[in-house]
Chain A
Amino acid sequence: MADTTQSSTQAGQPQATQSQLVPTTDSEAAGVVDTSTASGRFNRFDNPWLNPKLIWGMGILIFIVLMGLLGQWIWNTELVFTGSTPLRLPPLGFENLRGTPGVSEFPLGTDGAGRDLLALLIVGTPNTLMIGAIASLIGMSTGIFLGFTAGFVGGRVDDVIRILSDVMITIPPLLILVVFQSAFGDVSLIMMAVLIAGFMWQSPTRLIRAQVLSMRESGYVKMAQLSGASTMHIMFREMMPNLIPYLFGSFIANVTTAIVTAVGMEVLGLGPQRVPTLGRVIYDAINSGALIQNLWWWWGLPTALLAIMFIALLLVNLGLDEVSNPRLRKM
């Protein structure tokens, strides 16, 4: 029993290192791709990137983003202001407790302060997604930089980066952010994203550091070193392409965490106060007793939209896992 696996791989992380671009025969995507245009490795019949989960997840995400972007053209976003609509109207085709039917002017109903829910969703969704994307981007860039530095430079620098990421991964971001917000008062969307990013660099740092350490000893890196390639070249041209599925996976996981944190802040009544976000809508709904008053559309629609968003992110992540770990594709 003792000599079974040499290293204990981290749970949830894909195990294969360089095999993601190796053709496999069991791909689910076989037959989906038009092989006549095959040119280069990304157009092979067994292209692992044409993973159904990945495509579905990305599709839903793109749809949500488009809804936010195009919605601002189609729908009147002025309706997000308090008092611009009648109060507590149900969505079209439903009746509220007083028996008032929904009207086509406000197809998703209105909230207790006279705001149109469709307009709130159209304006709030991009805001929520943006916080996630910005926080994750900053976190990833920092993580890539620190991870490569730790793995390549080694020694003291490595020790400091490793211990710091170990320590920071333990601290729940929500609490530090709560302290920050209660001390500073209102924050902007960007500020919020930057604050969350302060807690998003640890896992990419650890991931990349571990990968760099194992890759550093591999044949092709040694080869590149022997042929006199610069460190930059080895890092970004030789190693980086192999890390892409991991980086994507880590990015998506971080977007999810960042959005969860942001929504958490908003549900606690913190976060940006003047811009509508999905979490803010839920906060208003809970605080006005929408649950007991059976105003299900008020809290239910933003909740459902967030849930769909998270499911799409999960699908993308699972898809990427399968891209980078061919063994998972058999399932």
Chain B
Amino acid sequence: MGGIPSSYIVNRLITLVLTVWIAATLIWIIPRLSPVDPAEVMLGRMAAGGAFVEGSDLILEQLRERFGLNEPLWVQYLLYLRSIITFDFGLSAASFPTPVSSLIAQALPWTIGLMLLSVIITFIIGNALGAFMVWERTPRVWKVVIPSLMIFTAIPPILSGLLLMYVFAVQLRALPLTGAYGLTVEPGWTMEFALSVVEHGTLPALSIILVTFGFWTLGMRGLMITVQGEDYVNLAKAKGLKPRYILYKYMVRNAILPQVTAFALKIGLLVSGQILVERIFSYNGMGKLLYDAILDQDFAVIQGVSFIIILMTAISVFIVDLIYPLIDPRIRQATERTA
């Protein structure tokens, strides 16, 4: 990784491992504290739903294996850690012989795709608006328009999602209501499928973008105000540099750095927000998988999905932490000096 000192990477790596370990442990401990036996609850539900549960002994067996085996607790814990590292979450109870990991493998690309798209768009729009809010050469109209857009920031993506669904899918019938692609198209690398995916992805992505860009705008605004008063900006102006050049190379370049760290803090909330958006749009991602699992009381899937999403979050934070010193030379130098 170029000039990043290894002590910094090791430090971040420890945080990553610790995060994943604590999350995995929580997921393991919580069902054990519960007075209810999840296996019993699950089978009870299934029996109530469909009188005779095919292969219920098998299911009970595999559930018991996950929740309360005859082994001592610490052995169970170690076995659990081993299985979770290898992404073996057992078998789904709702769609019985299917391994949880293959269900997740189907859902994950949708979630990651939607998230990357909306996060990148949000970051660019948000920071640009924040910078323009402070820049003295921004047209007056924008200085009124941008702050009023901030109202959307307050609303969580599920609510904006519902509104967009109602306006664009129910009233205008311009975009599809639910799903990740049309029922009539065959998944594959065809133009038709790609168009269908874009069409179905627009509303979920829009509902996330609409309500999250403001976070970056507000942060950027605060940082730009700080940067604006700095001597080097005044010097650049005195030198007669082009205002646009000063904005990009002097102000934004400096103000954007803390925004990247703020990003790391925000990922967790973004992920939760997206899970819910996927649920209301029945988008074929992790959110829908999780919601269906909650309905079916499919604990193995809930456990697996939760773990994978937390893992994903922790890895994204780790990546952001690694990118940060690359774009901010000061961090690199500071850590080199102390190391």
Contact A10 B291, CB 8 Å, known A185-B41, A296-B166: no
Closest partner residue, chain A, to B21 (CB atom):
A167
Residues of chain A contacted by B232 (CB below 8 angstroms):
1, 4
In the bound assembly, the distance between CA atoms of A131 and B73 in angstroms comes to 35
Whether A311 sits at the interface, judged by CB under 8 Å, is yes
Closest partner residue, chain A, to B165 (CB atom):
A291
Whether B182 sits at the interface, judged by CB under 8 Å, is no
Name the one of B35, B166, B253, B297 contacting A291, with C-beta atoms under 8 angstroms: B166
Q: Which of A142-200 contact B (CB under 8 A)?
A: 163, 166-176, 178-180, 182-185
In the bound assembly, the distance between CA atoms of A185 and B272 in angstroms comes to 21
Q: Which of B283-339 contact A (CB under 8 A)?
A: 290-291, 294-295, 297, 299, 302-303, 305-306, 309-310, 313-314, 317, 328-330, 333
Residues of chain A contacted by B162 (CB below 8 angstroms):
282, 286, 291, 299-300, 303
Closest partner residue, chain A, to B305 (CB atom):
A175
Stretch at the interface among A94-102, A122-130, A227-235, A253-261: A253-261
Give min CB distance, B302 to chain A, whole Å.
5
Docked-complex contact A179 and B155, CB < 8 angstroms: no
Residues of chain B contacted by A173 (CB below 8 angstroms):
268, 272
Q: Select the residue from A8, A299, A306 with max chain B CB neighbours within 10 A.
A: A8
In the bound assembly, the distance between CA atoms of A5 and B242 in angstroms comes to 22
Q: Which of A1-37 contact B (CB under 8 A)?
A: 1-2, 4-5, 8-15
Closest partner residue, chain A, to B299 (CB atom):
A182
Docked-complex contact A267 and B276, CB < 8 angstroms: yes
In the bound assembly, the distance between CA atoms of A303 and B279 in angstroms comes to 16
Whether A67 sits at the interface, judged by CB under 8 Å, is no
Q: Do most interface residues of chain A lie in helix, strand or loop, or is the interface mixed?
A: helix
Docked-complex contact B23 and A171, CB < 8 angstroms: yes
Q: Select the residue from A179, A264, A270 with max chain B CB neighbours within 10 A.
A: A179
Residues of chain B contacted by A282 (CB below 8 angstroms):
158, 162
Residues of chain B contacted by A240 (CB below 8 angstroms):
none
Residues of chain A contacted by B262 (CB below 8 angstroms):
10-12
Give min CB distance, B104 to chain A, whole Å.
13
Residues of chain B contacted by A267 (CB below 8 angstroms):
158, 276, 279-280
In the bound assembly, the distance between CA atoms of A182 and B67 in angstroms comes to 14
Docked-complex contact B154 and A175, CB < 8 angstroms: no
A-B contact pairs, 30 of them (CB 8 A): A4-B232, A5-B254, A9-B223, A11-B261, A12-B262, A13-B222, A168-B22, A174-B276, A175-B272, A176-B27, A176-B30, A178-B290, A179-B30, A179-B303, A182-B302, A183-B30, A184-B36, A185-B41, A260-B156, A260-B269, A260-B273, A263-B158, A264-B276, A269-B291, A291-B169, A296-B166, A300-B166, A306-B156, A313-B154, A314-B150
Interface residues of B (CB under 8 A from A): 15, 18-19, 22-23, 26-27, 30-31, 33-36, 38, 41, 133-134, 147, 150-151, 153-156, 158-159, 162-163, 165-166, 169-170, 177, 215-216, 218-223, 225-227, 229-230, 232, 253-254, 257-259, 261-262, 264-265, 267-269, 271-273, 275-276, 279-280, 290-291, 294-295, 297, 299, 302-303, 305-306, 309-310, 313-314, 317, 328-330, 333
Closest 3 CB pairs of A and B: A11-B219, A11-B262, A314-B154
